[in-house]
Chain A
C-alpha cells in the first residue's frame, strides 16, 4: 500500500540523493530474470525457523504509526508489523485484502466487511472501530501529520476537522466487522486514496491526538496486525521482530526478522558474508554487488521520476490558481530543443551507474495507464536537431560570441536551479549546463551554487523571480491521476503550466465515464500526448531500484515499490 506516497517530499529527497537510475537492458524493468529462477527453486517444502536480516542505510525515526510516519525508514519497519485493509497489486491497482467491499451504484457509499478473528499483537481482536479510530485521528483538529488528504473525501470530515462536529457523519459502524463509508463525490480512485490502515484503538485509548506521535506506545512499544511483532527497538540503529503466531494468514515461517541500519559503504561486504540478507542497494555499489554469487538481484523501475521544469509564471495564492505570465519559455520549440540537447542516457550511465529508465511522460513505467512509446515523441540525444529547432524558433547567434540571442536579438541566458545533497549533484548539474552550451545556449547555475533541498523548494514554491529551469523529482502514487501536480488550481504545479484541454482531461480521468477502465486509460493516453508534446518539463528518467536478497531466503519477490511482499511466506534454507 503506497497510497500515502503521493507528493511525499521526504521520499523525493531520498530519491534525489540515491538516484538509482536506468538499466541498459529494458527487459528487466518489471521482473528480473533472477526472480523467476528463485521461484522455480522452492520445490522443497518450506521450513520453519531462522532469522532474516533486512538492512537499510539511513537511521530510522521510529514514528511507528501509519498515520504519522514520514519516511521510507519507518515505512520499512511498519511493513513487517502492520497491514492495511486493502492492498496494492504489482499492477498498481487496489485490491481487497483484509476487507471486502461493495459500492453503491452512484459510487458514493462503500460497505466494507472485514475478516473475523484477525488479532492485534497484544491479543485484542481487530474490529472496524480500529479503522474508524484511525480515520478520526487523521481528521482530528490536533493532527499534525500529512495524511489529511487521505480522509478528505469522506462526508462530514470538514466539520470534524474544524472541531464543530463530534464525529464524522460519513462513517457508520454497522457491526464490529462491517463499516459503511460515504464519500462526498463519486471518484474512480476513491479506494486508491482512502486511508485503509487501522490503528489499535483500545491499546491507544485515552492518549490525546497531539501526544500520539511521541507516545511510548507508538515509539517504543508499537503494535500492529502484521506477521511480525516488535521485540526490541534500539533507536536509530535496529529493530528486532519476532514471529506473531496468531497472524491472520497463518504462522510465519521465520522466527524473526532484524531490521538493521547499516552504513551504505558496508553493504557489499555485509551481503557477501551473509550478515545482511536483504537490502535495497545503494546505486553507487551496484557494480560491486552485481558480482556477488550468493545473492539474487531484483531491479525494478521505481514509482518516481526526475525532471527539469520550466517556469511559466506563478501561483496566485488568493485566487488559488496558476498564472502563466512568464514569457521566457513560452516557445515550445525552445523547450523541445533543450530536451534534444540532453544526453539523458549519458547522464544516467555517468552519475547513476546506469540505474534509470529514460521517460518521455510523467507516468510510472509500470503503470497500466502509461501511454505506449509509439504514441509519444521520444526526445533522443540529438544536438543537431536541437540547433535546428533553435534556429527555427529565432534563437540565433547574432553578435558572433558563440552564444545564441533571443528572437529579439537580446542576450539570452538560462539559469538552472539544482539541488545539493549528493556528491554527484554538482558534476551532474555542470554536465547538463555543458550540454546546453554545446547547442549554443548560455546556461548557468542559479546563483552560482547548488541549493540545499529546503531552500530549493522554498524558491520554487514561492515563485522566486530567479527561478527559470529547475531540476526536481516526484514520487508517484499508484493511481495515475495527475491531480495535485498538473492542474490550474494546484499549488504544487511547479512549472506553473496548464492548458484548458489538459485540465479537462485530468478531470475526465476521474469523472463518471472513467469507471470504464478502457475509457480512463484512453483519457490518460490523450493527456500524456499533450504533456509529451508541450513539454512543460523535460522528463529525465525514472530511477531503477535494485534489491539484493541472499539466496538462502526463499519466496522473496519485488515489485515497483517494495520487496516486502508476503513476508510471512519468506523462509530460509538451513
Chain B
C-alpha cells in the first residue's frame, strides 16, 4: 500500500527563492486559482453537510424498513432506498461522515509519523538513515489486509478505530521517503551547515530550519494522501474488509453492487455514493494541485 504518487511532487524545484512572505504569496495565488477554489468550496460543502447530517435529515440511517426495499427514487426518498429499505440520501450523508473522518484522521496520523521519521532519517543520515529506511521498506511491504483481519478477530468490537490504527501505522512509508529526500537536499544549504557548526541542537535545527522549508511539500503530499486514504477506505470496505457493514460508509454503500441484480437493475443504490466519492476525490486533487502551484514560485498561473 503505497498510495503516494511520488513523481507528481518531484516537480517542485528544490531550491526556491527566499521571498519575504512566501505564505502570503502562496495564499494570494491559491485564492486566484478558480478551479482550486471551486473544488475547495465543494469539499467544504460535502464535509459540512456530512457532519451536520442529523440536522439535515430526520431519517434514521440504520432503521430497516421491510415495506419499501430497493425502491427507485421518489418524492419521499430522493435517491431511493437500499436493500434494507433505508433512505439512500440519508445514508449518503452519514456515510460521508464515516469515510471523511477516516480519511482526515488517517491522513493526519500518517503525515505526522511520516514527516517525523523522514526528517530524522534525512537529518542524521548514516546508520540512522539506513536503519530507518530499511524499516520503511519493510513497512511498505507489510501484509496490510491480513493485519486488519487479525486485528478484527482479536478485537471484535474495535470497528473503525482498528482500521484507522492499521492505516496510520502502515501507511506512512511514502511520506517518510519523500520528506527524507527533501530534508537531504535542504540540508546541503549553507545556512543549515552554519546552524549546526555553531552548536544548535538537532531538534531545534529540524524544527526551526528544516521543517518550515519542507512543510509546503508535506502539505501538498497530505492532500494527495487524503484522496488516497478515502479511496483506500472505500475500496476495502467495498471488498468487505473495512468498516463493519452495520455502519454506513461510502464503500459499504457501493458494495451491494457486487450482487448482479443490484448492479444491473438498481443503479440508484450504488451510483450515488460512487459519484459523490469520485467528485470528492476530484476536488481534493484539484485543491492539492492548486496548493502545489501556489507553493511553486516558478509557476505563473
Which residues of A come within 8 Å of B, CB atoms? 263-266, 282, 284-285, 288, 343, 346-347, 349-351, 420, 422-428, 430-431, 434, 445, 447-451, 455
A450 touching B262, Cβ below 8 Å = no
A426 touching B246, Cβ below 8 Å = yes
User: Please, what's the 1-or-0 string for B236-248, where 1 marks a CB less than 8 Å from any CB in chain A?
Assistant: 0000100011100
A420, A430, A449: the one contacting B84 at CB < 8 Å is: A430
User: Please, what's the 1-or-0 string for B254-287, where 1 marks a CB less than 8 Å from any CB in chain A?
Assistant: 0110111111110000000000000000000000
A288 to B244, CA, bound (A): 31
- Nearest A residue to B82 via CB reads A427
A434 touching B69, Cβ below 8 Å = no
Question: Other than the known A430-B246, A449-B244, what 12 A-B pairs have Cβ atoms closer than 8 Å?
Answer: A265-B260, A265-B261, A285-B261, A346-B66, A350-B85, A420-B245, A423-B255, A427-B85, A430-B63, A448-B244, A448-B246, A449-B245
Residues of A within 8 A of B157 (CB): 447-448
A445 touching B246, Cβ below 8 Å = yes
Tell yes or no: B14 within 8 A of A by CB: no
Residues of B within 8 A of A445 (CB): 246
Known contacts A265-B261, A423-B262: does B255 contact A431 (CB below 8 Å)? no
Residues of A within 8 A of B259 (CB): 265, 284, 422-423
A282 to B84, CA, bound (A): 19
Interface of A is mostly: helix
A423 touching B159, Cβ below 8 Å = no
A420 touching B260, Cβ below 8 Å = no
A176 to chain B, nearest CB (A): 51
A350 touching B66, Cβ below 8 Å = yes
A430 touching B262, Cβ below 8 Å = no
Which positions 54-80 of chain B face chain A at CB distance < 8 Å? Answer: 62-64, 66, 69
Residues of A within 8 A of B265 (CB): 288
- Nearest B residue to A283 via CB reads B261
Which residues of B come within 8 Å of A, CB atoms? 62-64, 66, 69, 82-86, 153, 156-157, 159, 240, 244-246, 255-256, 258-265
B66, B244, B256: the one contacting A431 at CB < 8 Å is: B66
**What are 14 contact pairs spanning A and B, CB under 8 A?**
A265-B264, A284-B261, A285-B260, A346-B66, A423-B256, A426-B84, A427-B82, A428-B84, A430-B63, A431-B84, A448-B159, A448-B244, A449-B156, A449-B159
A69 to chain B, nearest CB (A): 26
B263 touching A424, Cβ below 8 Å = no
Residues of A within 8 A of B64 (CB): 427, 430-431, 434
A427 touching B159, Cβ below 8 Å = no
Residues of B within 8 A of A285 (CB): 260-261
| Residue of A265, A266, A424, A434 with most partner-chain B CB within 10 A | A265
A450 touching B156, Cβ below 8 Å = no
A334 to chain B, nearest CB (A): 23
Known contacts A350-B66, A447-B156, A449-B244: does B84 contact A427 (CB below 8 Å)? yes
- Nearest A residue to B69 via CB reads A350
- Nearest B residue to A426 via CB reads B245
A426 to chain B, nearest CB (A): 4
Residues of B within 8 A of A284 (CB): 259-261
B63, B66, B255: the one contacting A347 at CB < 8 Å is: B66
Residues of B within 8 A of A434 (CB): 63-64
Residues of B within 8 A of A282 (CB): 260-261
Residues of A within 8 A of B159 (CB): 448-449
Residues of A within 8 A of B240 (CB): 420
Residues of B within 8 A of A449 (CB): 156, 159, 244-246
| Residue of A351, A428, A447, A450 with most partner-chain B CB within 10 A | A447
| Residue of B63, B156, B258 with most partner-chain A CB within 10 A | B156
B83 touching A264, Cβ below 8 Å = no
| Residue of B66, B156, B245 with most partner-chain A CB within 10 A | B66
